[in-house]
Structure 1
Amino acid sequence: MEVVIDAYFDKLFEGMERDYLVSRHKRRQLVKYFSDVINSTSKAENLETSDVCERIVMSALRYHNITMSENSSVCLLGKFHNILYVAAKLCYDWNLSNNKIVIRLLNDIYYCEKTFERIFIGAIFGIRVTHFLSGWKSDFEDRDENIRALIYFLDHSIEGKLKYITGLSSIKYRFIDVPMESYGQILPVRVAIQHGASDILLIMLRYGASMEFDKSMPSPLENLLTRLNEFDIDQENKQIIPNNLLRCLRFLLRTIPIVYVMTPEHIANECGIVHVPIYEMYPNLIERKFVPLERSGRVPPELCHLCRCCIRKRLFDNWALPHGIRALHIPESLQNYLDLLQD
């Protein structure tokens, strides 16, 4: 079977136009064809569908690597690269559990693109907006499927303990924190916050998305606080603050003991104080109860919240977020609290 599938790939792609797989429709046609092959081959040869899917994905990776090796290890893009997204859709559709194969697929995508933004953008923005932002249409059906696919690859990246070096930096980023190149090299969690995508933000935070941002620029939380601070509270205006922004704030506050914000540059230069508690910069947000006193710096954080932050840090260090929480011998209510599902 392996030889037949490899030979098919060689023959099929030899006569295919270079830009054939640029179209989402063409990629989905190929996915459907291979899905039919998986079903028919597994029945004809009495094999598990997962075994046939593995073989097809491996052939796709083989084809990609051969074309690169023939071009001095430089990807030829076009059909030679887009076959990886056909393989990614097959992995998700058939719930391929072979972690080594999925890791190899993610590594090949990163080697060529230096980002995983095509896996993230559909989950953050949905399938329509992504075409206008990056010219790429997601291979997944809708935003919900994009989110499920992101979770699928997040789980495999955690199992494989994947880390990647980006740009000139020596810092290694986990899969969930690899910067999005087309969006100014900012982290996916920042894009989710800026877009107000509270549902995907919660997923990212549960999986341990980093909140350790560049100290020389305002964090996404600070940007969000600035936006909230600009809303007029005059009752006559009756301006309603978007609920998605308030949800983003609530989720972020579950991950940090105290909210600190950057001081203005001229103050920082004079006194050397770079960060101050939020109540000193945005007291009205405390008064409006957007930020509870326990996160403001005026009163100490709750002991249970400090414990949550500490335990989550240990689980993160051991690649155990979020699923390792369910292995802890504690009541379900505490598990949900640790998993950021409740305040």
Structure 2
Amino acid sequence: MEVLIDCYFDRLFSEMERSCLASRYKRRELVSYFTDVINSCAEAEDLDKQDVCERIILSALRYHNITMMENGSICLLGKFHNVLYVAVKLCYDWDIHNNTIVSRLLNDIFYCEKTFERLLVGAIFGTRVTHFLSGWKCDFDDREENIRALVYFLDHAISGQLEYRCEFSPIKRRFIDVTMESYGQVLPLRVAIQHGAPDILLIMLRYGASVESDKLAPSPIEMILTKLSEYEAQPGQEEVIYPEHLLMCLKLLLRTVTAAYIRTPDHIAAHSGIFSISLYEQYPNLANQNLIPPERSGICPAELRHLCRCRIREILHNNWALPHGIKKLQIPKSLRNYLDLLQD
């Protein structure tokens, strides 16, 4: 059957135009076609449907790799590359459990694109605006399905312990921290914050997305605090009214750090030797309005329980055990939710 599927796959694609899979509806037509093939082969030869689906996905990977090798290890793009996103949809639709196959698919996507933004933009922004932002229409029906698909591939990336060498980064990055090329090499977490999407931000944080600052950008907490500091009380208002989605993003981020510190500019740090200051010193107005708990703003030390949460999550992250490893800990369910950032 494997040889037959490979030959059938090659003949099918040889008849297609190079640009035929650039359109989402064409990719969906091909996914629907392969779905019928899977059902028919499984019924005719009494095979497991997942096994047939895996064979088709392997044929897609084979086709992509052969055409790339014949071109000096450079991807030909067009249908030769977009076939990978047909495989992406098949993996998700049939809930393929074979981590080796899914890891190969993710590795091939990164080899050609150096990013996973096509798997991320639909979950962050939804399906309507992604075409205008990155010129790519998501293969999933709506934002909710995009989020479920992202979680599916996050789980496989963790199971496969996948890391990638990104441009401008001295260290390898995990799937959730691979930069988004069309957005100025920004981390996905920062894009989610800029968009003000606390639901996808929570998922990223649960899976251990980085909240540290770097030379190219401020930390996520600094980004939100800068936005909040720009708001002022309107005429007739006694207090400033802040957007709820920004406050929720800040609340979630504060669950991941022992205390919020603001990095001082490099030229000041070089002369003074002071590399960071407390949140309270930088944004006293925000701290005085009780937007930030005193245990996170530097007014008083963090609670022991929170310090333990940060340390346990760090260890779990280092061992590729976030977030599902939390369920294996012999602790009450309420503490599991606390460790998993689901509650304060």
TM-score by length of 2: 0.97
Cα RMSD between the aligned structures?
A: 1.3
Aligned twin of 2:284: 283
Kindly provide the amino acid, as one letter, of the partner of residue 189 in structure 2: V
Distance 1:138 1:251 in 2: 27
Q: CA deviation at 1:228?
A: 0.7
Aligned twin of 1:308: 309
Do 1:193 and 1:220's aligned partners in 2 also have CA atoms closer than 8 Å?
yes
Q: Identity of counterpart residues, as a percentage?
A: 66
Q: CA deviation at 1:272?
A: 2.3
Matches within 5 A, 1:140-159: 140-159=140-159
Once the two structures are superposed, what CA deviation does each residue of 1:197-232 show, in whole Å capped at 9, x if it has no partner? 110000000000011230564212101101111111
Once the two structures are superposed, what CA deviation does each residue of 1:237-278 show, in whole Å capped at 9, x if it has no partner? 476321111110000000001100123556434412121000
Aligned twin of 2:264: 263
Do 1:268 and 1:274's aligned partners in 2 also have CA atoms closer than 8 Å?
yes
Once the two structures are superposed, what CA deviation does each residue of 1:149-184 show, in whole Å capped at 9, x if it has no partner? 000000000000000001254410001100111110
Aligned twin of 2:5: 5
Once the two structures are superposed, what CA deviation does each residue of 1:96-123 show, in whole Å capped at 9, x if it has no partner? 0000000000000000000001001110
Deviating more after overlay: 258-267 vs 167-176? 258-267
Distance 1:171 1:263 in 2: 24
Distance 2:88 2:246 in 1: 32
Distance 1:50 1:333 in 2: 37
Aligned twin of 1:193: 193
Distance 2:279 2:298 in 1: 7
Q: Any idea what SS the aligned residue of 1:164 has?
A: strand
TM-aligned CA distance change 1:84 to 1:252, over 3 Å: same
Kindly provide the amino acid, as one letter, of the partner of residue 49 in structure 1: K
Distance 1:338 1:168 in 2: 32
Do 2:177 and 2:188's aligned partners in 1 also have CA atoms closer than 8 Å?
yes
Distance 1:281 1:240 in 2: 20
Matches within 5 A, 1:1-343: 1-167=1-167, 169-215=169-215, 217-234=217-234, 236-237=236-237, 240-264=241-265, 267-343=268-344
Do 2:180 and 2:186's aligned partners in 1 also have CA atoms closer than 8 Å?
yes
TM-aligned CA distance change 1:279 to 1:36, over 3 Å: same
Do 2:212 and 2:220's aligned partners in 1 also have CA atoms closer than 8 Å?
no
Q: CA deviation at 1:235?
A: 6.4
TM-aligned CA distance change 1:236 to 1:269, over 3 Å: farther
Deviating more after overlay: 6-15 vs 321-330? 6-15
Q: Any idea what SS the aligned residue of 1:232 has?
A: coil
TM-score by length of 1: 0.97
Q: Any idea what SS the aligned residue of 1:127 has?
A: coil
Q: Any idea what SS the aligned residue of 2:95 has?
A: coil
TM-aligned CA distance change 1:264 to 1:173, over 3 Å: closer
Deviating more after overlay: 81-90 vs 4-13? 4-13
Gaps of 5+ in 1: none
Q: Any idea what SS the aligned residue of 1:247 has?
A: helix
Distance 1:185 1:233 in 2: 35
